[in-house]
Amino acid sequence: MLRWVRQQLGFDPPHQSDTRTIYIANRFPQHGHYVPQKFADNRIISSKYTVWNFVPKNLFEQFRRVANFYFLIIFLVQLMIDTPTSPITSGLPLFFVITVTAIKQGYEDWLRHKADNEVNGAPVYVVRSGGLVKTRSKNIRVGDIVRVAKDETFPVDLVLLSSDRVDGSCHVTTASLDGETNLKTHVAVPETAVLQSVANLDKLVAVIECQQPEADLYRFVGRITVSQQTEEIVRPLGPESLLLRGARLKNTKEIFGVAVYTGMETKMALNYKSKSQKRSAVEKSMNSFLIIYLIILLFEAILSTILKYAWQAEEKWDEPWYNEKTEHERNSSKILRFISDFLAFLVLYNFIIPISLYVTVEMQKFLGSFFIGWDLDLYHEETNQRAQVNTSDLNEELGQVEYVFTDKTGTLTENEMQFRECSINGIKYQEVNGKLTPEGFTEDSPDGNRHSLMKEEELFLKAVCLCHTVQINADQTDGADGPWHANGIASPLEYYASSPDEKALVEAASRVGVVFTGTSGDSMEVKSLGKSERYKLLHVLEFDPNRRRMSVIVESPSGEKLLFTKGAESSILPRSKSGEIDKTRIHVDEFALKGLRTLCVAYRRFTPEEYQEIGKRLHEARTALQQREERLADVFNFIERDLELLGATGVEDKLQEKVQETIEALRLAGIKVWVLTGDKHETAVSVSLSCGHFHRTMNILELVQHKSDSTCAEQLRQLAKRIKEDHVIQHGLVVDGTSLSLALREHEKLFMEVCKNCSAVLCCRMAPLQKAKVVRLLKTSPEKPITLAIGDGANDVSMIQEAHVGIGIMGKEGRQAVRNSDYAIARFKFLSKLLFVHGHLYYIRIATLVQYFFYKNVCFITPQFLYQFFCLFSQQTLYDSVYLTLYNICFTSLPVLIYSLFEQHVHPHVLQSKPVLYRDISKNAHLGFKPFLYWTILGFFHAFVFFYGSYLLMGEDTSLLGNGQMFGNWTFGTLVFTVMVITVTMKMALETHFWTWINHFVTWGSIVFYFIFSLFYGGIIWPFLHTQDMYFVFVQLLSSGSAWFAIILIVVACLFLDVVKKVLYRHLQPTSTEKVQMEEDKGSVSSACDFAESRHRGEDNRQLLDPSSLPDSSYVH
């Protein structure tokens, strides 16, 4: 019970030992003293709250906000002492704000729970009691034997026991974990590989001992002890035996595995970061402003209290004849009276802190987020997917991004390789209608319509078909004819490859007539134009990043021994002694300029003596116990020389549409783009060049393959020196995972200095948590830039959660990234609209909203402070308590809310086409100290004009009524309040650039509502009000022509200076945004279609507002 409570509250007892012992099928030892270890269940939890902790945790988060905590204190003070205003005036708004926010955050977390339940409730098959039992994913326990079928994802981390293959191997793609789309081969230990049926597995008696869970995807240490009759066989287990949750089974009908790590202890879950509350820069600014306003409030309250006692030092003011003290008041402690008066002034002035600011901001964020979901420009028709908002708290942060961290596979690319061109024997070829056609030839050319392949072409294609690690779908290799029908026409083969390039090349070769039809034992079969040839595979010289090539040695049907090699041009061309080397080099450069991934292909014939020598050397190197890797490298270099060059290939990893334009736009907007990928160095650089992340003119610096601290530090210092020397040109940096770990361990500052001076950074071979580390490194650097991470796989989740803003791409790699992101979009190209339009507009709207709120509350409460000088600091209120409560809730709330939802200070098309405008709002420009100071001083200035303007116009003994009567204090307060409501509403109107009928309705409607409400409130005797000070006050005020004159004069006096300041600044010191606004205005005036333009923008907005205009009218929020 205690453990369950601890789990619910988010605590879990630590593991007691360094290893875990797992009894397969949970067959525990029968002797009595065995105590089973406790393991986590298989539930995945991405939500933040549970039913039990929602109320305390949510309240704690909400009262972390300065204003909420402050209003709670004020509310408690009002309950405890006699104050000028009722506790309801602060208690009711506080309760409303807390409730609305809790409902919003609870709803968002409910959506996360729903997504978790979908994953945890997925059906799985488990071996229990001698049969297959269907259960839910969350019910899998450590030790259960689980069956997974082809194309299913693994529901837990499993140790492979057996597959449908005799050797116990299976193929897996880990694209959603590390971004690699290639197939990885996993193998079972021989003793369990033979147990291919449920009945046999049920009899298995075995124990696995392995390390406790850790986040490293590529590390697993364990051993399995299998009991057979009388003996126990112990076998080592490594990463090749472990199938990770989130990976997908390919090219294998089914596998059986035993669950070793479950739920939040799986490697996928350990690579998540815990979900923490993200807070936007605007919210942090708001908290800073609130603290400044708290200081102003305390200053006003202390000053008022001191002045009250200074005034009362005179006998006649201490106890005037009309206000005698009671006996209790005379005898009470002076210190207690001072504290009581101070708290009373605090309550009187507390409206300077705008509590309704928070609820308006919450509503603005929540309602504003619907526009992202409804935006048809962010809708992807092919997949019928719209943009999705998971966290509306960060809308304005989209307008502040300085760094974008993006994944490569599936985010920048489509994750599909396509063969484009090749060069054979110095001639460039393209694939046209399933035929290899030399460049310049067409179908109509005399030579264009050829059915046979030339000798060089055929040899080149055979090299491509033999030198690879491609496999064929097991279903298609069965049967006598393999994949060929009796009439000789091939059925399309389904290839699986460890490298997507190899797959694309083998598929291209099969389309033009040379088909790889599979392997059987140690031979490879190739069909060239329908004629089958069998090559014996003698040796495979595996690819490694140092050699940057791979080779196979085969025996041809005629008995010749041949070496086929393919690899990067830098590793093949220097080793070639014949063939069209110069022409091929030119072609390779041409392919690379087009952004294609290039490989060179070469071959070598061996004499029997040479082959004997090679076979002997290879055997010695492969069986060496010391320095095996170095010996093998020497032998490989000895074999792969004196090559005859056959040609080169150009394969395109198809980029997503408009990726290049999007990256260029981000650069123009002053945003630095970093690509973080788990992919190989060469692949990553190639894609970076083709997508415009790296330019051809850039000087590309490399920090790769460092094994020691000292070499890494030395290289970093050299790079820093080079950057200083060549500061004129742009630099791009390439860094790999191992070098990054070394750089971050000791030389963080130096590494950051190098990175910041580079225009683009590419990090390859990155583990998921390394991605998050890089984001955190920049996030916490002294400049504190706003970061955005975008990715599509589970390997990107930790980075998405670490960044200020996390964006998931709805790609082919599952929904992990989307579920854990703040926003989700279907394609990378939508990022530009999301940042430059939505982000820009949200930021402008909320910046104005926040500062306007402070301004209108300064206007509201300063006259109250000034009034105390005229009433002996007796805490008399200037306004009626109903006006105090309704000022922020009714009279001035709607115009600013509607402004914050619909304002478009520049047309969206202009914002997207001119990314430079994004720089105008960077680094929180509109919510800095200067704009804040301007709005505050403006508020104080307007408040002084309201109060003293009214005071001077009325004078001390002026009669403003026709019958000679004078105004009382409530009439004076109402005059100040009326002027104030009109002025602050008109101020909002001056800030509005984009008018819709809704803006007109709420702006003028708010003023009309105030007048109608005041007439009703003061014109009727309400039976439920115990005092009605305002009875007939408003009617009396409006019956005076002088009062109307005073209202108009004071409003004009307040706003005139504002208009003058705006005009001068726009003409003398315009920002680029203001220049664009003036161009827009000129354009609309000169073309005399101002009305049409406004209507068009209105339609734009209506298009955003109308969910029914989407193909699927149920919208996402």
Active-site annotation holds for 407: yes
> How many Cβ atoms from other residues are within 10 Å of residue 480's Cβ?
5
Q: Which two tokens stand for residue 875?
A: 């805490």
Three-class HEC string of 361-407? HHHHHHHHHHHHHHCHHHCECCCCECCEECCHHHHHHHHCCCEEEEC
Q: Look at strands 672-676 and 760-764 and give their pairing.
A: parallel
CB count in 10 Å sphere of residue 581: 16
- CA 178, 182, 188: angle at the middle one, nearest 5? 90
Pairing of strands 823-825, 805-809: parallel
- CA distance linking residue 472 with residue 490, whole number of Å: 14
Q: What is the number of alpha carbons within 13 Å of residue 860 lying toward its C-beta?
A: 26
* Cα–Cα distance measured from residue 725 to residue 21, given in angstroms and rounded to the nearest whole number: 58
Q: DSSP label at 647?
A: E
Which amino acid is present at 395?
Answer: N
Angle between helices 66-80 and 88-120 (to 10 degrees): 140
Q: Cβ neighbours of residue 373 under 8 Å, at least 6 residues apart?
A: 386, 387, 388, 389, 1115, 1116, 1117
Position 777, amino acid: L
Would you call 1104 exposed, middle or buried from its count of C-beta atoms within 10 A (0-12, 13-18, 19+)?
Answer: buried
Residue 263 three-state SS: helix
Dmax over Cα atoms in the chain, in whole Å? 129
* Whether the Cβ atoms of residue 955 and residue 922 lie closer than 8 Å to each other: no
Per the DSSP assignment, residues forming a β-bridge with 647 are: 424, 601
Determine the Cα angle at 236 with ends 232 and 242, to 5°: 120
| Residue 926 DSSP symbol | G
Contact between residue 365 and residue 1117 where contact means Cβ atoms under 8 Å apart = no
Two tokens, residue 1096: 């068009």
- On the CB side of 1099, CA atoms within 13 Å amount to 5
Kindly report the number of other CB atoms within 10 A of residue 1044's CB atom: 12
What is each CA distance from 845 to 128, 842, 850, 896, 1035, in whole angstroms? 60, 5, 9, 9, 37
Q: What share of the chain is helix, strand, coil (3-state, %, to 5)?
A: 50, 20, 30
Let me know if 325 is exposed, middle or buried by CB neighbors in 10 A (0-12, 13-18, 19+): exposed
Distance, in Å, from the CA atom of 674 to the CA atom of 665, rounded to the nearest integer, reads 14
> d(Cα 70, Cα 350) in Å, to the nearest integer?
9
Q: Tell me if 855 sits within 8 A of 987, measured CB to CB.
A: yes
What is the rounded end-to-end Cα distance, in angstroms, of the chain? Answer: 37
CA atoms of 354 and 850, how far apart (whole Å):
10
Residue 254: strand pairing partners: 149
Residue carrying the six token digits 């220049």? 1075
- Return d(Cα 302, Cα 296) in angstroms, integer: 10
Which candidate in 407, 501, 653, 880 is catalytic? Answer: 407
| Number of Cα atoms under 13 Å in the Cβ half of residue 1066 | 14
CA 396 to chain CA mean position, Å: 14
Which positions are catalytic? 407
